[in-house]
Structure 1
Amino acid sequence: METWLHWVDLAGVGVFAIAGTLMAYKKHMDGFGVVVLASVTAVGGGTLRDMILDLPVFWVQDPSFFYVIIVAAFSTIIWLRSKDTFPLRYLFFADAIGLAFFNVMGLQKALTYGANPLIAVALGTMTGVFGGLIRDVICREIPMVLKGELYATACVLGGASYILGLQLGLSTVSCMAIGFCITLFCRLGAMKWNWHLPVFNPHDSVKDE
């Protein structure tokens, strides 16, 4: 089981590294900038999770995560150089998959180390969104988590479905699959059909003093 979870974690890191590389390419960064942005996107959320749980940070204990980041980053750059235009939709798609991966992995790890279900859902959400938040702040973009479209909410819904599956007696693997699919479906649905939470808009009659 631990070996399988490790490979899933590596997959999540690789996908988020691709999302970070796509953003770096969009911002015309050099090779060093690509590696930095891919790295913070890929490990930012998991680092925060492990620090909150007072655990050894996962990538410090296992350098294979950085091998995956480097391979994913430079493979993506090579692929992008064959394109005439920047495929922005691929950035959002890679980010959505990475979000779903890290949400369920963060939730699973929190539960493994004794967090109650509510805290585990919160830590899964943090794991999913924090790396992308750092990436967007570095690139001076409005973080996706702060926009109207479902982002963190997708993680919460996916996490809740995971917990519900456990309460119904489903296996851990089944719960992870359900949580992943719900998170991904909500995020992709928000991108395609503009699902969003209400956004605060002051009335036109309200003027700045």
Structure 2
Amino acid sequence: MHHFMMFSLLVITGLQGSVESAGIRSERSIDRDYRSELTVPNGGSWGSWGRREMCPVGTYAAGFSLKVEDPINGDDTALNGIRLHCIQSSSHSHRSYSSVQSDVGSWGRWTDIKWCPSGFLASFQLRVESYQGNNDDTAANNILFRCSRGSFLKGGGTNWGDWGTWSERCEGKGICGLKTRIEVPQGAGDDTALNDVRMYCCD
């Protein structure tokens, strides 16, 4: 009886894991076809690129939120993560959406979502602090998006560094995915977390 109960528990646990994994796969489309990749020239160079994460097929990013560590008296990391919020191309409502993110740093908290009044995210600028020598490095600090119908959305990041140039503008309907470059925690070293990001455009 004991062995039967243990076997049943393992089967149930395994099924729950499969259902959760299937749910995660259905919420994003890692291999979704995209039309173009948007980059900016001023991203930081520390860390490694995470995997590309795409909005579900038929949806596009109409909003975003950021994971930001507020300034502290110590080793600041500033921008730690970017999350895209995707809606159906035919929808004018933000009530039903899917969220995708690539790799994320270890510090900070998520800001409220900022939505395009209409349309989808179409291009971006990144605010990045250059190498500080023996002082504290933070790398990427904030992001600014332009929506496909002309509105601008500025993230709630920090103010260190300078804004770079705009990325190319989406030739397709809008941004549909992203990939981030994250430096893992450095222990006693200087942490920077998010350094750079690439966005993907879909028809």
TM-score, normalised with respect to structure 2: 0.26
Higher normalized contact order (CA 8 Å, seq sep 6+, divided by chain length): 2
Q: Which has the larger radius of gyration?
A: 2
TM-score, normalised with respect to structure 1: 0.26
Q: Name whichever structure is richer in strand by fraction.
A: 2
